[in-house]
Chains A and B, each alone.
Chain A
Amino acid sequence: MFSSASNFVHGVDTAFLFIIGVSVFFLILLTTIMIVFVVKYNRKRHPHATQIKDSSALEITWTTIPLILVLLMFYFGWKGFLPMRQVPADAMNIKAYGKMWKWTFEYPGKKVSDTLLLPLNKAVKVDLISTDVIHGFSIPGFRVKEDVVPGKNNYTWFIPSKLGDYDLFCSAYCGLSHSYMFALVRVVPENEFNTWVASLPVRKADDNNEGYKLLEKNGCFACHSVNGTKGVGPSFKGLYGSEREVVTNGANRKLKVDDLYIKTSVYEPATDVVVGFPQGVMKSYKGTIKEKDIPKIIEYFKSLKAE
């Protein structure tokens, strides 16, 4: 253990060692006693049982000792955890966006990246933002994990204290590609970090399009690309006005993508599923995307013409 990849490793692993130590001791002790009794008092060797009277003293002893031990465990667990909620005032802010099924990290100056690059020995506060369902921000090497809950301003922080690569997993189940929602965490010296951040692209220009913002906010781009690449769902590029073969009630039919089709696909995605894509994967956005916003999305789609 004690790899000291972050400032929390020591506290967490101390709690681990104490609890595991006590547990292994009792597991071995009690199992040994059980085996000794089973052998020693086997009916062949010990045909008649001797009845033993209950003893309050014994009951009190084996209530008190475990109680003291578990309170100690509580103490170590709490001591290892508390620093995780005490963010230093000078910590650098990074926003982590969790979307089905992709992490995006935003550095100061609206610079975005798919990799979580971190400067060595600098405190980093990560704001956890979800735009769809609950995700989990977990970096086992750092001993940190906090759920990314829509509508809640959850956060975590740490000081990366060892150069190297680490894994970031999505720990809270979030649907189809939950197990593919991971990212690379790389800890580098501070000067290297600064150069890298400076080279990052700024958030996309489509930012000002109302339809784009709605799709972005609802995490649509996790499955539907805007450049023609096939994702979990069909690409939005050249979608509007094109002809598609879809499965309706188990039968194939052809249709032209119009306003009605787009509205149906947003609210009842299982009704007409484009051939070659799985059914029941997309959720309904009824109540999430308002009816008055649908035309904005359609306008945006019209701008994504096929070349």
Chain B
Amino acid sequence: MNNTEHVSFLEHQGKHKGILAWILSTDHKRIAFLYMYAIAAFFLVGAILGLLMRFELIAPGETIMKPQTYNGIFTVHGIIMIFMVVIPGLSAVFGNFFLPILIGAKDVSFPKLNLFSWYLFMFGSALAVASQFLKSGPPDTGWTFYAPYSTTTGTSVIIATTAAFILGFSSILTGLNFIVTVHRLRAPGMKFFNMPLFPWSLYATAWIQLLATPVVGITLLMLIAERLFGIGFFNPDLGGDPVLFQHLFWIYSHPAVYIMILPAMGVITEIIPTFCQKKVYGYKAIALSSLAIAGVGFLVWGHHMYTSGMSEQARWFFSLLTFIVAVPSAIKVFNWISTMYKGSIDMKPAFLFALAFIFLFMIGGLTGLILGSVATDIQVHDTSFIVAHFHYIIFGGMGFAFFAGLHYWFPKMYGRMYNFKRANFSVIALFVGFNLLYFPQFIIGVQGMPRRYFDYFPRFQWAQILSTIGGVILFIGLIVMIYNLVKAARSGEKAPANPWNGSTLEWQLPSPPSIENFDEDPVVKENPYDYN
């Protein structure tokens, strides 16, 4: 490609100027940036709320806030982090940016719909933020909105659920867009098994978004109808059943965990081969395990409800399926580690993040086994063990994969390079802070410390102090990382087209790529890790 004529998508002049050139752009890369900046802002708000909770919990009794404020903060932290950060997260940012490039396309199938999804996302997010400032006070139900508490509390539940409903539509449309893109826009000659593994994981994710999200949409509408008209879906006095809400909620919200983690696995699957200079080990096993997780993941929601009073048959059925869905995740870990065997390993920041991801994900996954088994889950259900477990999966997994992806693709997205020393410092601070923050919660969880507790018995305090210190270290790591990347985006050194000697298609394009990525269709190779 002739670099002298190259105009990157960042410099490209279209019909509009200034901010309009971004918020009216249908270019998948610009939309990815729009998502990224919005998500980064929400993430920071969520992280600060998390830190406030940690300070409240440093000592028993009231420390810096009242119980009602605490209940509002953990609800808002959950809503922001789940619906506005981790569910869109990897798909909307790296999926948007790299899915078309990795399959040799100029854009997604429906670019206007893609921009519309972003507007829905922003509209939903604005409503979610607004619900915090209304007169009746922030919602205090937890992000799970369990009935009948959620149908009767005086706080702004309707606005918050409407926000989640709208955010759901954004997710559905992104899923639809990606499915069609993968089916219709692969470069001529590229078969499914010639696609790299990140697109595979996005494809599996997109099906979950498309099929599972409508269920939560309906559930939230039922909740709103219940509050407004007292219909009685979940009210036993009117013949309803509160547990019905939990079933409907988890039919979506369990697969939603895979919406978060599958693309994370996909990102890691791209990073490891690059820094080991190896072809990924077990390509087919990894691709098929994504589909297996997406498929079986639909049938395990009941493991969130072992103590709800479900029948014994339901409890063993969900337990068995939960254990089966653990296997494909294990297969991925084995293949990642095997990819390192006899590689030529370059310990760059993105790879360090990937290693941290594998370790944290293993702890998250293995503690998930304790939750899959009925007897042990009953002991730790609704305790801080759960809080530790899902933070290991969602933050240690999805979050670290996001940071890994950010450091991996940063030079491609911005055409600039960040400072490695600062990046390495942030990996270490994040890793140490993370473990110090969440690991003690496993221990007091087994001992019985319930979750969503504003106050606690003094015997749990040692862990709460460690966690708060960990939280501060983690936050410092975040600030250093963000500072490093912002500085690099503004004034970092110019990055070459292929700084890591990567072997997938995106590294064949200039950094940053042009507005339609490819001047002509790329020549497809049998192995997607063969383009260098």
**Tier of interface size on chain B:** 35 or more
Q: Which of B309-348 contact A (CB under 8 A)?
A: 309, 312, 315-316, 319-320, 323-324, 326-327, 330-331, 333-335, 337-338, 340-347
Query: B378 contacts A149, CB within 8 Å?
Result: no
Give 1 or 0 for each of B427-456: 1 = CB within 8 Å of chain A CB: 000000000000000000011101111111
Query: B230 contacts A287, CB within 8 Å?
Result: yes
Q: Give the residue of A48, A80, A278 whose beta carbon is less than 8 angstroms from that of B344.
A: A48
* Smallest CB gap from A47: residue in B: B344
- Known contacts A23-B369, A144-B378, A175-B153: A37-B337 contact under CB 8 Å: yes
Q: Give the residue of A38, A85, A174, A177 whose beta carbon is less than 8 angstroms from that of B312.
A: A85
* Smallest CB gap from A140: residue in B: B448
**Distance to closest chain A CB from B369 (angstroms):** 5
> Please, which residues of chain B bring their CB within 8 A of the CB of A163?
none
Q: Which of B364-386 contact A (CB under 8 A)?
A: 366-367, 369-370, 372-379, 381-383
Query: B276 contacts A74, CB within 8 Å?
Result: no
> Please, which residues of chain A bring their CB within 8 A of the CB of B154?
269-270, 280-284
**Tier of interface size on chain A:** 35 or more
A176 at the interface (CB under 8 A from B): yes
Query: A42 contacts B379, CB within 8 Å?
Result: no
CA distance A105 to B330 in the complex (A): 46
Query: B330 contacts A62, CB within 8 Å?
Result: yes
**Distance to closest chain B CB from A81 (angstroms):** 4
B506 at the interface (CB under 8 A from A): no
> Please, which residues of chain B bring their CB within 8 A of the CB of A283?
152-154
CA distance A144 to B378 in the complex (A): 7
Query: B243 contacts A152, CB within 8 Å?
Result: yes
A16 at the interface (CB under 8 A from B): yes
> Please, which residues of chain B bring their CB within 8 A of the CB of A282?
154
CA distance A292 to B278 in the complex (A): 76
Query: B312 contacts A288, CB within 8 Å?
Result: no
Q: Give the residue of B149, B309, B355 whose beta carbon is less than 8 angstroms from that of A152.
A: B309
* Smallest CB gap from B529: residue in A: A51
A183 at the interface (CB under 8 A from B): no
Query: B230 contacts A74, CB within 8 Å?
Result: no
CA distance A214 to B436 in the complex (A): 49
- Known contacts A51-B278, A66-B330: A80-B375 contact under CB 8 Å: yes
A43 at the interface (CB under 8 A from B): yes
A49 at the interface (CB under 8 A from B): yes
CA distance A80 to B452 in the complex (A): 27
CA distance A207 to B338 in the complex (A): 71
A30 at the interface (CB under 8 A from B): yes
Query: B283 contacts A143, CB within 8 Å?
Result: no
> Please, which residues of chain A bring their CB within 8 A of the CB of B344?
41, 43, 46-49
**Distance to closest chain B CB from A171 (angstroms):** 4
* Smallest CB gap from A174: residue in B: B149
Query: A77 contacts B375, CB within 8 Å?
Result: yes
> Please, which residues of chain A bring their CB within 8 A of the CB of B457?
167
Query: B379 contacts A66, CB within 8 Å?
Result: no
A200 at the interface (CB under 8 A from B): no
**Distance to closest chain B CB from A32 (angstroms):** 10
Chain B CB within 10 A, most for which of A52, A77, A178, A280: A77
- Known contacts A49-B276, A151-B241: A143-B326 contact under CB 8 Å: no
Query: B448 contacts A59, CB within 8 Å?
Result: no
Q: Give the residue of A49, A63, A71, A141 whose beta carbon is less than 8 angstroms from that of B277.
A: A49
Query: B153 contacts A84, CB within 8 Å?
Result: no
Segment from A112-120, A130-138, A255-263 that makes contact with B = A130-138
**Distance to closest chain A CB from B74 (angstroms):** 9
Q: Give the residue of A16, A43, A70 whose beta carbon is less than 8 angstroms from that of B324.
A: A70
Query: B278 contacts A49, CB within 8 Å?
Result: yes
A274 at the interface (CB under 8 A from B): no
> Please, which residues of chain B bring their CB within 8 A of the CB of A80?
373-376
Give 1 or 0 for each of A56-78: 1 = CB within 8 Å of chain B CB: 00110011001100110110111
- Known contacts A31-B362, A134-B149: A171-B372 contact under CB 8 Å: no
A173 at the interface (CB under 8 A from B): yes
- Known contacts A50-B342, A149-B309, A283-B154: A63-B327 contact under CB 8 Å: yes
**Distance to closest chain B CB from A228 (angstroms):** 24
- Known contacts A70-B369, A76-B375: A288-B237 contact under CB 8 Å: yes
* Smallest CB gap from A283: residue in B: B152
Query: B347 contacts A82, CB within 8 Å?
Result: no
Q: Give the residue of B142, B148, B359, B374 whose beta carbon is less than 8 angstroms from that of A77.
A: B374
CA distance A12 to B281 in the complex (A): 38
- Known contacts A140-B379, A172-B382: A150-B148 contact under CB 8 Å: yes
Query: A136 contacts B307, CB within 8 Å?
Result: yes
* Smallest CB gap from B456: residue in A: A179
- Known contacts A147-B308, A179-B455: A51-B136 contact under CB 8 Å: no
- Known contacts A41-B343, A54-B282: A173-B149 contact under CB 8 Å: yes
CA distance A141 to B457 in the complex (A): 15
Q: Give the residue of B71, B243, B346, B359 whose beta carbon is less than 8 angstroms from that of A31.
A: B359
> Which residues of B does A touch, CB under 8 Å?
66-68, 71, 135-137, 140-142, 146, 148-149, 152-155, 230, 232, 235-238, 240-243, 276-279, 281-285, 307-309, 312, 315-316, 319-320, 323-324, 326-327, 330-331, 333-335, 337-338, 340-347, 355, 358-359, 362-363, 366-367, 369-370, 372-379, 381-383, 446-448, 450-457
- Chain A to chain B: the 8 pairs with minimum beta-carbon distance, closest first: A151-B236, A77-B373, A140-B448, A80-B375, A287-B230, A23-B366, A280-B137, A283-B152
- Listed by A's residue number, 28 A-B pairs whose Cβ atoms lie within 8 Å are A12-B376, A16-B370, A22-B369, A26-B366, A30-B362, A34-B340, A37-B341, A46-B342, A52-B281, A58-B338, A59-B331, A59-B335, A63-B327, A73-B323, A77-B374, A81-B374, A143-B375, A143-B378, A152-B242, A169-B448, A171-B381, A173-B142, A175-B140, A279-B136, A279-B137, A280-B136, A281-B68, A281-B154
